[in-house]
Structure 1
Amino acid sequence: METVRYSKFDDGVSLNEITEKNTEGGLNVLTTCVFVVGVIAGSGFLTLPKAIDDSGWIGFLLVFLCCFVSAYTGDILGKCWTIVRERHPEFKNGKVRYPYPAIGNEAYGKWGSAIVSFSINFTMFGTTIVYILLAAENIVKLLPADSKFSCCYISLIIWGVMTPFTWLGTPKDFWGIAAAATLATSTASFILLGAVIHYSTEINISEVKHTHVDIISFFTAYGTICFAYNGHPAFPTFQSDMANPKKFGSALALGYLIVFVVYMPCSIATYVVYGEKIEANILSTVPGGPATTIVSILMTAHLLFGIVIVINPVSQQLEHVINIPEHFTWKRIVSRTLTMLAVLLIVESVPHFSSILSLVGGSTISILAFLCPPLFYLKLCKGNAESEEIFVPLHTKVLLYEIMLIGVTAGVAATYSAITDLAVNKFTVPCYVDVYRACPR
């Protein structure tokens, strides 16, 4: 199907008219939205209430601002990919395995590509670790009290079960997994909200106390909130797999709206009802019962599905570097299995999901979400010897510079806070030294 395509930006200026062939069998707006929700919602649903309590009432403002800014920079990143595709026809076949690094390379050469590649791999690698640890903790809570299975054992089982699913190619090959993850989280959020409201009748809300906020707890919470909207490493991959990539902005806006609706009601309710009693994993706070059990099962399912989604960009990047073919081969099996083995090693060595997600959220997620998209967009819009300059209004420039300044400053503070917390408060022996200890957070 041949379509005449115009690339338009916020300023209303059109680039040159081109003819492009849509990607056959690619993702549509709805399926892309499902992937956006699937890659973002999950750990944030379980960990945001604690982050809000650690940051005080201003945490609600941070949740809203991070949602808005993340959606905006995600759209900016989509525009960057549109510019790169129009300047390089070879990227229009919908099968690019490294779109975000390609944007960095077009903007700032090898350095831009290298920074993006490292940040993506660190972020998605860390996210996979967090998902396995959270899923393991949820499963342990579902087992009988006298069960001898610890998080160490369960993490190993999760690795063995999920690794074969990571052998699937690109997002369009496993859209059903993303749909199941999205449905699981959405359903769980409403059930948990009902449970919290039900149990609130047993608590005198006027006597609920909240955690004293200090600098370390505030910026650690900020890292957790950033992690709750982690999706930028995968966004260009989703857009590249779309049948009509220019509609990515619509899918992104709808996806973030759904995530915000999933996050906020439970976060508000648990903050009001439980206060300083909120645990790092909200399922450890709400009293046990049928509703909590159902939510735990649904969220565990989301986390397991999410493992397949979040590790995929890392796998594709690695396969591009070592020249593994795009079609399914034994080389893909070996490569992706070794990648998951590396994940398992960290899971069994540093089993603290709260500190890991704060570290990742404050460092590389801040780079990928708040620094690179504005920086790359402004550079690409300047044009070069082969392409014309794209006009960017002054108010857009000011907004982008503000996002970069605030994002980097807060990210550095959050990274320092997470490292301090991990080094001082969260040291435990690895799983291979003590396989029976409780699940640390």
Structure 2
Amino acid sequence: MGKSNPENGANEKTPIMAPNQNKSVQEIDEAQEPHVTGGLTIFTAAVFMVGEMAGSGVLALPQSLDQAGWIGMLLIVGCCVLSAYTGKVLGSAWILVQERYPQYQGHVRYPYPAIGQVTYGKPGRYLVSFSINFTLFGVSTVFLLLAAENIQALIKDVGHDISFCYWLLLIATILLPVTWLGTPKDFWFIAIGATAATSVACVVLFSNMIYDGTHRKDAGPVRHSSSSFIDFFMAFGTICFAFGGHPAFPTFQTDMKKQKNFGRAVLLAYLIVLAMYLPVSVAGYFVYGSDVKANILLTVSHGPMLYIVQILITAHLLFGFVIVINPFCQEMEEVLNVPKKFNWKRCVVRTAMMALVVFVAETIPRFGGILALVGGSTTTLLAYVLPSLFYLKLCSMKGDWEEVHVPLHMKVMNYEILMVGVVAGIASTYSAITDLSAPGSFTLPCYINMTSAEGH
């Protein structure tokens, strides 16, 4: 066999393992993989995943549940289970790539695009790179908008109404030096802070919603929105967004001490996220009904509990922003050949990325539409379509390495996930674009009117 050349996709392989041997899917994670000194543990990797996903989902899912109707509860649980499974599949695919191609062992800045490169050549890599960059950029923008909106609401409650457009600029300036940190293992403390803040916030928020429910009995029965095609798939896109942390998953995996344990970290992360999402979403559905707003914090009654939640969720969004924008910046640095060690070029690139995020946030100060569009399009692709597609392709590739046997039932399940992801993703993307382009949906950019722009 010739030298490894991922540029040609599956055409050439590297003979690094004994041929004519089979191994099952369950044995993939037992493979020898690089040991990262000082890397992430199962717990810290799970914490990073929670820190990346949980913030916007807690705020947006209650309205999505009202839009989708009671079936939205099943969608939340179903998306959680499927996302956890495809997250594990993606981790197994990365282990296979590292086993077969030595150049991808050690620290790699662009692991998910590398999987696309190995399986489908340059088209696979370009598709993944675009999808990841679009998704992480969109998530970063949403986190920044939500943080600014929460701070505006907090300050307004103490008598000072300062436009969130100004807060966007201030928050970005404060966060900028933190974004210059290298990779996730360099700022593990941020992930722990984000997860801890959201966990406490969810408990307090749920208590606040139950309190509101006990004091709304005289207001009559709770009414729910009638779910149209557009509303349902807008909700689906938001739910996908809430569980779609996959763009950054391989980045976290490459920073783990033992990458074979990534599946356990994924399972732990999704159990934590579901424990946060489900009680808040169900409470919002039954307590507020159609009165719930895109940001649940703008719906619950004012008081000490709300202020605590606003502070904690804002802290999570600020921490989460640093986590989410990091893989996006790393890939841009790879494209521009920026050295991996801290240097002035990294600062320049990441400052430029921050400026671009701020510009988009100031241009489209409406996080709900961005969230649904990103969730329905590239998040669905990265979380529900490509993991199964890449994994099955890797298992079917022939070469001088151990073959991987995939049972028929697992093949069928992966193909079903893939097809459902394609159909639902197309419908959700169409719904989000239709909503964003509908009459009356336009919001003035902040740089046209810093005081009249609305972020919700």
TM-score band w.r.t. shorter chain: over 0.9
What secondary structure, in the 3-state scheme, does the structure 1 residue paired with 2:437 have?
Answer: helix
Q: TM-score, normalization: structure 2? A: 0.92
Amino acid in the other structure paired with 1:89: P
User: Counterpart of 1:226?
Assistant: 240
User: Counterpart of 2:63?
Assistant: 50
Deviations 1:357-416 (A, max 9, x none): 000000000110011000000100012334343111111111111111111101111101
Tell me the distance in 1 between the aligned counterparts of 2:304 and 2:87: 38
Corresponding residue pairs, total: 434
> What displacement does 1:299 show?
0.2
Q: Return the match for 1:245 from 259, 267, 270.
A: 259
Amino acid in the other structure paired with 2:260: K
Tell me the distance in 2 between the aligned counterparts of 1:411 and 1:38: 24
> What displacement does 1:11 show?
3.9
Moved more, 375-384 or 182-191: 375-384
Tell me the distance in 2 between the aligned counterparts of 1:271 and 1:355: 20
> What displacement does 1:438 show?
4.9
User: Counterpart of 1:68?
Assistant: 81
Is 2:307 aligned against 1:307?
no
Structure 1 residues 379, 208: closer, same or farther in 2, change over 3 A? same
What secondary structure, in the 3-state scheme, does the structure 2 residue paired with 1:234 have?
Answer: helix
> What displacement does 1:206 show?
6.5
Tell me the distance in 1 between the aligned counterparts of 2:301 and 2:22: 52
Equivalent pair of 1:39/1:230 in contact (CA under 8 Å) = no
RMSD (Å), alpha carbons: 1.8
Tell me the distance in 2 between the aligned counterparts of 1:197 and 1:343: 36
What secondary structure, in the 3-state scheme, does the structure 2 residue paired with 1:207 have?
Answer: coil
User: Counterpart of 1:116?
Assistant: 128
User: Counterpart of 1:414?
Assistant: 428
> What displacement does 1:196 show?
1.0
Equivalent pair of 2:152/2:161 in contact (CA under 8 Å) = no
Amino acid in the other structure paired with 1:121: N
User: Counterpart of 1:282?
Assistant: 296
Q: Return the match for 2:249 from 229, 235, 241.
A: 235
Tell me the distance in 1 between the aligned counterparts of 2:294 and 2:400: 52
Structure 1 residues 8, 162: closer, same or farther in 2, change over 3 A? farther
User: Counterpart of 1:136?
Assistant: 148
Is 2:27 aligned against 1:23?
no
Amino acid in the other structure paired with 1:237: T
> What displacement does 1:270 show?
1.4
Q: How does 1:392-411 map to 2 (within 5 A)?
A: 392-411=406-425
> What displacement does 1:152 show?
0.7
> What displacement does 1:428 show?
1.6
Amino acid in the other structure paired with 1:331: K
Deviations 1:146-169 (A, max 9, x none): 524101111111111111111010
Deviations 1:69-100 (A, max 9, x none): 0000000000000000101223222x111000
Which structure 2 segments of 5+ residues have no match? Answer: 1-16
Equivalent pair of 2:115/2:390 in contact (CA under 8 Å) = yes
Amino acid in the other structure paired with 1:122: F
Amino acid in the other structure paired with 2:437: A
Q: Return the match for 1:107 from 99, 111, 119.
A: 119
User: Counterpart of 1:125?
Assistant: 137
Which structure 1 segments of 5+ residues have no match? Answer: none
Deviations 1:45-67 (A, max 9, x none): 00000000001001001101100
> What displacement does 1:195 show?
1.0
Structure 1 residues 57, 317: closer, same or farther in 2, change over 3 A? same
> What displacement does 1:440 show?
3.0
Tell me the distance in 2 between the aligned counterparts of 1:323 and 1:381: 32
What secondary structure, in the 3-state scheme, does the structure 2 residue paired with 1:60 have?
Answer: helix
User: Counterpart of 1:436?
Assistant: 451
Tell me the distance in 2 between the aligned counterparts of 1:35 and 1:136: 22
User: Counterpart of 2:10?
Assistant: none
User: Counterpart of 1:427?
Assistant: 442
Deviations 1:240-275 (A, max 9, x none): 000100000001101100000011111111110110
Is 2:197 aligned against 1:184?
yes
> What displacement does 1:14 show?
6.2
Identity over aligned pairs, percent: 52
Structure 1 residues 413, 365: closer, same or farther in 2, change over 3 A? same
User: Counterpart of 1:87?
Assistant: 100
Equivalent pair of 1:9/1:79 in contact (CA under 8 Å) = no
Q: TM-score, normalization: structure 1? A: 0.95
